[in-house]
Structure 1
Amino acid sequence: MSGSATEFRLENSFRRRLYFFTGMIVFTLTAYIFQLFNLQVVQGSENSLKAERFVRRSESIPADRGQIFDRNFITPETSQPLVSNSASLDVILNTSLLKNDPKKVKEFIYKFCESLSIPLAYYEKDLQENRLIKKIRSREPFVLLEGISRDQQERILVLDNINRYVYLVSSPARIYHMGPALAHVSGYVGKPSTSDIQEKEIKSYQLVGKGGIESQFDTILRGQDGFRIQKRNTEGNIEEERVIEHSIPGNNLILTIDRDLQIAAYRALKGVRGTVIAIKPTTGEILAMASNPSYDPNLLSGKNKQERANHFARVQNNGGFLNLAIQSKFPPASTFKVLVALAAMESEHKINYDPKGTFSCPASFTLKSTFKGVPDQVFYNWDKKNHGELNLAQAIEKSNSVYFYQLGYKLGAEPILAYSRLFGLDKKTGIELPGEITGFIPSSEWKKRTYGNKWFDGDTVNLSIGQGFISVTPIEMALFFMAIINNGKIYKPYIVSEIRSPLDNSIIQKTQPSILRDIPLKKSTIEAIKEGLYLVGYSGTASGVLNIPSLPEVAGKTGTAQTRRRGASSSNHAWFIGYAPFNAPPEKQILVATFVEYGVGGAASAAPAAREIFKAAFPPGSFPKTDRSKVRTMEEEAPVEEEAF
């Protein structure tokens, strides 16, 4: 009986173990079958690609960067691009055939240079620093030559001692159809630096934006690379090639730039150092932005290493990489008188100022000294002439400095500085270009901290005509004048209007105008200032340049900023900021800001540059005519009346 009980217990224990192990086997087989189904069926195509990559050599197919078009874009096929792509051939050294033999490497390089008429110095650094040997040891491809010519391609193909050691690959090249005329907006592309590779999601073979739109919108323009699988024999020759994933081009950009105005802006700066900005004041769209000296993005993005290096050095030496529109600041000179007048009319500091009333404006203004033994300060008008009694409009028309010396002194520095900050003359505009700087608005605290003395009345008098410590960027000053046109509204400037798909031309993103600042201004203030700006172009300091039959009515302000430069033909910077047609609705107007370094005076060089933009924007017959008895009959007969500071 006991034996039977023992056998029964053993049998039950065996049965339980059998069931357990049977269950484990069934579970394991089920898991294996499920995983096999997952790998073969569910993830089969993906794993097949991975297997291909392991078994054979995979090679990336660089995507074309997106194209860039101007504001007149319709479709990629029917519109002329500002920036596009072209295919070029690069010569790649087949490192697997050189067997890590430095002598063999040098012999091949000598033959290669001799056969293709290339200076040996082209590879001197690579040989000296053993870059080629390192590439061979790592079995990485080495680019011998980029963007070869048809003649070079034919030579390579017929010379067996060259052809067997290299292979040709297609690589994208960038074409900048407007060259230097649009360089500071477009930027250029190049191979990524070590920091680019580390800081950005970018491969060493890809192109990366190096300034302008190319840099700011780099990831949007870059696209998605494809890859192909290659099977090579022991000689390194391709036996089989299969494209696994096709590359997808980057998105296209539609700019607010007008091609014709951009060309006019660049040509207007020929022979001078300066900048031109044209803006739609009711939206903030940049119609043109040119800066000179410039650079050729085709050379900097090109395949010729020596040309790139030489051009880069030249541009760096002459400051051509600097976009003066957003990366330079200078005293605003007489253009700032408009802000002083606005501050006087709008400020809570009551000074009983009536813009229709008059100030006596002799040849100079004397600031009485408050210190014993210190002489009075004398501030002269630009022409050192007595202009008599002037109201605000007449003072703006003639750019009379004595009027504004008195107005600024009476008002005091604080309201002027406060309104300068209110209008953003010390703040970035947020334009979609890299490297924007801010202007500088001083303060009594800053002066005490910097120079160890207080703010004097003489500093206020100097500030009243846009001289002294204050400095602004051209685009900041342009936006201030935008506020005058728009009754206090300032729109954020922008250059990219749309981002479009390269596949179906659909709009991915569209920029809507946005208000940067909205400053309540009295209607009487705007009217008083606009009257003076109109007189500048009609009968004032810029009339000799702008009051001509081929132009609409232009309102604006000239400015001539004194500098510390000595011993040169001119020591003054030139400004002009204005808009046209004066009698048109704001949405039909164009605002133009021009600045010329050492340009003699606003009417001598800055206003003529603006004139070329207005000519291009408003051909004869496109603007309403008004009866202007003082209109000039010929530009050559128009005298230039210019303030000296």
Structure 2
Amino acid sequence: MKQHFPLKNVQEEKRLFRSRIFIAIGLVVLCFITLISRYVYLQIFHYQEFETASDNNRIRLQPLAPARGYIYDRNGILLADNYPVFTATMSKADVEDIDGTVKKLIPILDLTQDDIDRFTSRIKTAKKTERVALKLNLNETEIAKFSEMKYLFPGVNIETQMTRYYPYGELFAHVIGYVGRINDRELKKINKDVYAGTNLIGKIGVEKSYEDLLHGTPGNESVEADAHGNVLRHLGKKDPVRGNDLYLSLDYGLQMVASEQLAGRRGAIVAMDPHTGEILALVSSPSFNPNLFVSGISTKDYVALRDNLDQPLYNRALQGVYPPGSTIKPVEGLGGINYGVIDWSTTINDPGYFHLPGDSHKFRDWKKNGHGIVDLNKAIQESCDTFFYVLSSQMGIEHMNAWMRQFGFGEKTGIDLPSESSGLYPSPEWKMRTRKTKWLKGETISVSIGQGAFTATPIQLAMAISMVANHGYHLVPHVVSSSRGAKPFPVRNAPDGRVKFNGTDEDWNKMRDAMVNVINQGTGRRIRTNAYQIAGKTGTAQVKSIAQGKKYNEALLTERQLDHGLFVGFAPAENPQIAIAVILENGRHGGAAAELARPVFDYWMLQRKTNPIRPLTHQITGSLMTAGIQPSQLPSGQSILQADPNAVPNSQKAQQMTQKQKADTAAQQAEITE
């Protein structure tokens, strides 16, 4: 018998259907509860946090680099300018593959390995939204290439940024220095918040010494950006504060005249106000074009400067150490008076040589037959070596060292420029410490005439002769006189003490008169003038030593083995306004160095107020830039500002002047001057 089953159970199906509905409704309700809970969590409990995160995806705080402060000379002539350049920048927030993007940009922007290395170092430590410079100073071709392919490089943009320009190129290079790209070593030291968006930093000179004042304070700007990093809206802005402007004590015209005297020669000239310590001119020759370094100097250009035998990058005025020769005799003579070893009536008989008791070695005077009866005045006037041989043997190296150090020898002057050398004033302690041997009495004799281990820099000589002019008052040399801007600047020009001197003001005056005699009738008589009185002292520093008993034969020496010529002096003698130190490398004698000082004296005393040398107006700069010519596009060493042709000789005149100087030197070769 067959059993029949119903095809469907209606009641069971209803029960199953209802249970599924309840489960589905429960799942939906659970989802809604979860969604609402999450919404409450995000919108109520963590609203502020996630609002900020959301805004960060579209609103960015971009740094605004401050403009660098300008640098002027004492007359308001602009020496360091700012001008805009096109710069390729990248933000790592908008670029996923930084290395790959840089590689693709190499042929488009003509990137060098130096560009890549600098960018890689900076991008590693940059903030996520900071725009890091990939290449500065793009040319028109590079801009055009990138513009065509911009869509392939989200996060890479071309912006206008300010960079530095030095209108007078080589003229102020060793004083002002230059700025350059921030390197790895500097990146570890600087405050990254202060330098956000900034690519340049002071490297040498005033640019480095006063970096904190010149740099300024950065600002920032809030912008709304799309997914590709393109700015859609500007939401808010805090303006950066421009760096302080600096006013130097340098005089453009005096710097120009001093530079012309050293054209084609190796040497340095430092001019200083003996009453304030202000540096009026500071020239080191040869020089270099600082504009080459701003955007990154090419390897070819750098190697050419580095390997140049004349060392144009070397600041001879601050770093050059030379035997000072007889230029230190006025200071040393005052030392003899200070210690009571001599007075103005003390005399010696000079046979042309000196030897220590019990020693047959002869220390010879530059004048073979001697100077006869010599007192201190005559010893200064005729630069009698033998007088100072005797003086030093009686004074002793300890007293000499203590006295000369009061005038700054053997120590840095403290000038507000970096990389100053200290020179060396030797002592028994120094020799034992460095050479492990005892001091010899003969070494004292050599030091007494500025030879032996004694070395000094031109800035030290300028400071020392300023102290003589100023009756022993010490002033720290400085090139920055004042500053204008948001940051405070300490006022200088205050005396920094006076040397301890047992003599009187009359002794200072007598030394001044002796130095006047040097110019009027002594070794510096070729620069004598009736227009004003110059007090000075010449000196000769031996480069190649001559063995005892051998005769100095200049014809057998190479040009770089010839003696250095030195000169120190001040004018007018009675009330000094300017003090000068000159070093002429391989100049053969001090008279040649003195001749370079005379035009510098003349300009300051006679021409500066009535017919000052000034550059042409800066309208030339504006017209060139309007025409699309950037200063960086000028040939190396060429400035867009030319000096007044009526005041500055052209290259042909300068060449004629050089030839005349050489002819004068040859004609005077027979006349030996100390």
Structure 1 and Structure 2 fold alike (TM over 0.5): yes
1:366 aligns with 355
Aligned-pair distance for 1:466? 1.4
**Alpha-carbon deviations, 1:367-418, whole Å to 9, x = none?**
3435xxxxx1112221323332233222212212122223323433333222
Task: Identify which of 274, 286, 305 aligns with 1:281.
Answer: 274
Aligned-pair distance for 1:185? 1.6
Aligned-pair distance for 1:343? 1.5
1:379 aligns with 363
**Alpha-carbon deviations, 1:585-610, whole Å to 9, x = none?**
23xx2000111233222212x21222
The SS at the match of 1:343 is: helix
Aligned-pair distance for 1:49? 10
Question: CA distance change for structure 1 residues 130 and 177 in 2, over 3 Å: closer, same or farther?
Answer: closer
Task: Identify which of 536, 540, 563 aligns with 1:560.
Answer: 540
Aligned-pair distance for 1:136? 13
Aligned-pair distance for 1:489? 0.9
Task: Identify which of 139, 144, 160 aligns with 1:149.
Answer: 139
In 1, Cα distance between the equivalents of 2:413 and 2:98?
A: 58
Question: CA distance change for structure 1 residues 248 and 331 in 2, over 3 Å: closer, same or farther?
Answer: same
**Alpha-carbon deviations, 1:135-186, whole Å to 9, x = none?**
9998975644321234544554466677878421111111112222212221
Amino acid at match of 2:447: L
Aligned-pair distance for 1:227? 1.9
Amino acid at match of 1:571: L
In 1, Cα distance between the equivalents of 2:125 and 2:377?
A: 73
In 2, Cα distance between the equivalents of 1:496 and 1:641?
A: 44
**Alpha-carbon deviations, 1:499-523, whole Å to 9, x = none?**
2127xxx986533423243433423
Amino acid at match of 1:573: H
2:161 aligns with 171
Count the aligned residue pairs.
559
Aligned-pair distance for 1:279? 0.7
* Unmatched runs of 5 consecutive residues or more in structure 2: 1-43, 546-555, 611-659
* Unmatched runs of 5 consecutive residues or more in structure 1: 1-35, 41-46, 74-79, 371-375, 624-633
Amino acid at match of 2:494: P
The SS at the match of 1:329 is: coil
1:323 aligns with 315
In 2, Cα distance between the equivalents of 1:98 and 1:145?
A: 17
Question: CA distance change for structure 1 residues 51 and 108 in 2, over 3 Å: closer, same or farther?
Answer: closer
1:254 partnered with 2:235? no
Question: CA distance change for structure 1 residues 390 and 96 in 2, over 3 Å: closer, same or farther?
Answer: closer
Question: CA distance change for structure 1 residues 558 and 294 in 2, over 3 Å: closer, same or farther?
Answer: same
Amino acid at match of 1:70: D
1:576 aligns with 567
Aligned-pair distance for 1:244? 1.5
1:491 partnered with 2:479? no
In 2, Cα distance between the equivalents of 1:138 and 1:72?
A: 45
1:616 aligns with 603
Aligned-pair distance for 1:97? 7.8
Query: Contact 2:253/2:608 (CA < 8 Å) preserved in 1?
Result: no
1:81 partnered with 2:78? yes
Aligned-pair distance for 1:568? 2.0
1:532 partnered with 2:538? no
Aligned-pair distance for 1:453? 4.6
1:154-553 residue pairs with structure 2 within 5 A? 154=144, 156-157=146-147, 166-202=156-192, 203=195, 205-206=197-198, 207-301=200-294, 303=295, 305=296, 307-318=297-308, 319-348=311-340, 351=341, 353-370=342-359, 376-451=360-435, 453-501=437-485, 509-520=490-501, 521-544=503-526, 546-548=527-529, 552-553=532-533
**Alpha-carbon deviations, 1:64-86, whole Å to 9, x = none?**
0111111123xxxxxx3111211
Q: CA RMSD in A?
A: 3.8
Identity %: 29
Question: CA distance change for structure 1 residues 531 and 514 in 2, over 3 Å: closer, same or farther?
Answer: closer
Shifted more, 49-58 versus 526-535: the winner is 49-58
Amino acid at match of 1:347: Y
**Alpha-carbon deviations, 1:5-27, whole Å to 9, x = none?**
xxxxxxxxxxxxxxxxxxxxxxx
In 2, Cα distance between the equivalents of 1:644 and 1:389?
A: 19
The SS at the match of 1:377 is: coil
Amino acid at match of 1:590: I
Question: CA distance change for structure 1 residues 50 and 531 in 2, over 3 Å: closer, same or farther?
Answer: farther
Aligned-pair distance for 1:536? 1.4
The SS at the match of 1:603 is: helix
Shifted more, 530-539 versus 195-204: the winner is 195-204
Amino acid at match of 1:57: R
**Alpha-carbon deviations, 1:228-268, whole Å to 9, x = none?**
23333344433223452112111111111111112222222
In 2, Cα distance between the equivalents of 1:50 and 1:552?
A: 76
Shifted more, 324-333 versus 480-489: the winner is 324-333
**Alpha-carbon deviations, 1:259-316, whole Å to 9, x = none?**
1112222222222222211111011111111222333221111x2x4x3444333333
Question: CA distance change for structure 1 residues 354 and 138 in 2, over 3 Å: closer, same or farther?
Answer: closer
Amino acid at match of 1:190: G
Query: Contact 2:63/2:197 (CA < 8 Å) preserved in 1?
Result: no
In 2, Cα distance between the equivalents of 1:641 and 1:541?
A: 14
Question: CA distance change for structure 1 residues 136 and 195 in 2, over 3 Å: closer, same or farther?
Answer: closer
Aligned-pair distance for 1:640? 7.0
Amino acid at match of 1:600: R
Query: Contact 1:500/1:509 (CA < 8 Å) preserved in 2?
Result: no
Aligned-pair distance for 1:90? 0.7
Amino acid at match of 1:560: T
Amino acid at match of 2:373: E
Amino acid at match of 1:189: V
The SS at the match of 1:82 is: strand
The SS at the match of 1:421 is: helix
1:59 aligns with 62
Amino acid at match of 2:186: D
Question: CA distance change for structure 1 residues 131 and 511 in 2, over 3 Å: closer, same or farther?
Answer: closer
Amino acid at match of 1:612: P
1:626 aligns with none
What TM-score comes out, normalization by structure 1 length? 0.77
2:622 aligns with none
Query: Contact 2:410/2:423 (CA < 8 Å) preserved in 1?
Result: yes
What TM-score comes out, normalization by structure 2 length? 0.74
The SS at the match of 1:618 is: helix
The SS at the match of 1:475 is: helix
Query: Contact 1:220/1:251 (CA < 8 Å) preserved in 2?
Result: yes
The SS at the match of 2:313 is: coil
